[in-house]
């Protein structure tokens, strides 16, 4: 059992509230996942051609300033608790290769022009406080509270899983054939860094989108090829999507209002949103794919 939440804001006037609202939603789902938690924030502001890289330090007290000097290239670092966000221009493939070569002790959680990911082991309230989520602004975000069933309780195994630029996924449920699909992806050169079944779904979606599928087509392939019980919330730079499996036994509630679209595992995570009384609140049906675009 895990808890997932997401918020896609249509009204720019609400952008300053994103972090506070997303934190409240995530904390309402704390009982569904006490092991670990994670949040993805989508925020504009970088010029085209520049990317943010969400980095995990090997331990407390890591010297980010020294690391930036060691890299000796056009990049800026913003420490956040023990982690940091690196901003750099240029091809992300080249930047990721350079990070792997010159700072192999770091873990890259995500990259993108608009997306930042924060995740950790422990209580969701403490994690939101540690990374200052309530103070963040942006146009969409998603979050996850985890109760581990398929793999270890570590920061790397926690959600969201980000497998491409500005693309990430949170998942409630389990896939029974993830090992088979993992091997198939490996034959195509796609490497998973954990044994978490949810990462396989994230890599699968990114793989097909890199080969020309839009998000909807990639999610239809998830429905066709993955066995198990699942609710997925997937965010891309300009899209926000929800899909459930054939049986739809993992809970999901969506609220669509003039100013926002919100999704959560349970309605109580949506109850405090402004304008929820006027929202169209519904439960997505089995194998329905719901996608909203900016």
Of the candidates 151, 191, 193, 144, which has an alpha carbon nearest to the alpha carbon of residue 170?
A: 144
Please name every residue paired with 6 in a beta bridge, in sequence order, or none if there are none: 142, 263
Choose, from 2, 128, 168, 192, the residue flagged as catalytic.
2
- Tokens of residue 294, six digits: 């900016």
244: helix, strand or coil:
strand
Residue 247 Rama label (left phi>0; alpha psi -120 to 50; beta): alpha
- Residue 47 burial (C-beta neighbours within 10 Å; 0-12, 13-18, 19+): exposed
Q: Which of 261, 198, 266 is nearest to 6 (CA)?
A: 261
Give the span between the Cα atoms of 220 and 248, in whole angstroms.
15
CB 264 within 8 A of CB 141: no
Q: How far apart are CA 100 and CA 103, in angstroms?
A: 6
Strand partners, 142: 6, 40
Confirm whether 2 is a catalytic residue.
Answer: yes
CB-based burial of residue 4 (10 Å sphere; 0-12 exposed, 13-18 middle, 19+ buried)? Answer: buried
Q: Which of 195, 167, 152 is nearest to 36 (CA)?
A: 152
From residue 39, alpha-carbon distances to 141, 187, 212, 244 in Å are: 7, 31, 27, 21
Residue positions annotated with a catalytic role: 2
């Amino acid at each position: 059992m895990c808890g997932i939440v997401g918020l896609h804001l249509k009204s720019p006037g609400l952008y300053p509230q994103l972090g506070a609202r997303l934190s409240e939603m995530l904390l309402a789902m704390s009982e569904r996942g006490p092991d670990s938690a994670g949040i993805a924030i989508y925020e504009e502001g970088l010029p085209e051609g520049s990317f943010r890289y969400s980095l995990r330090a090997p331990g407390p007290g890591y010297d980010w300033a020294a690391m930036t000097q060691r890299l000796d290239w056009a990049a800026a670092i913003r420490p956040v608790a023990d982690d940091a966000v690196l901003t750099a221009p240029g091809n992300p493939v080249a930047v990721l290769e350079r990070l792997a070569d010159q700072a192999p002790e770091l873990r890259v959680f995500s990259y993108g022009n608009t997306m930042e990911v924060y995740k950790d082991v422990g209580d969701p309230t403490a994690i939101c406080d540690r990374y200052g989520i309530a103070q963040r602004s942006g146009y969409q975000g998603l979050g996850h509270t985890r109760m581990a069933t398929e793999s270890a309780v570590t920061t790397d195994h926690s959600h969201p899983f980000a497998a491409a630029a500005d693309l990430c996924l949170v998942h409630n449920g389990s896939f029974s054939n993830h090992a088979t699909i993992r091997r198939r992806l490996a034959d195509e050169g796609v490497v998973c860094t954990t044994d978490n079944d949810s990462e396989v779904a994230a890599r699968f979606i990114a793989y097909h989108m890199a080969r020309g599928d839009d998000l909807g087509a990639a999610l239809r392939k998830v429905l066709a090829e993955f066995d198990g019980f699942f609710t997925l919330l997937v965010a891309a730079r300009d899209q926000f999507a929800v899909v459930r499996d054939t049986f739809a036994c993992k809970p999901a509630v969506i609220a669509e209002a003039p100013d926002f679209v919100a999704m959560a595992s349970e309605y109580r995570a949506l109850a405090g949103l402004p304008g929820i009384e006027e929202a169209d609140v519904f439960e997505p049906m089995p194998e329905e794919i719901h996608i909203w675009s900016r």
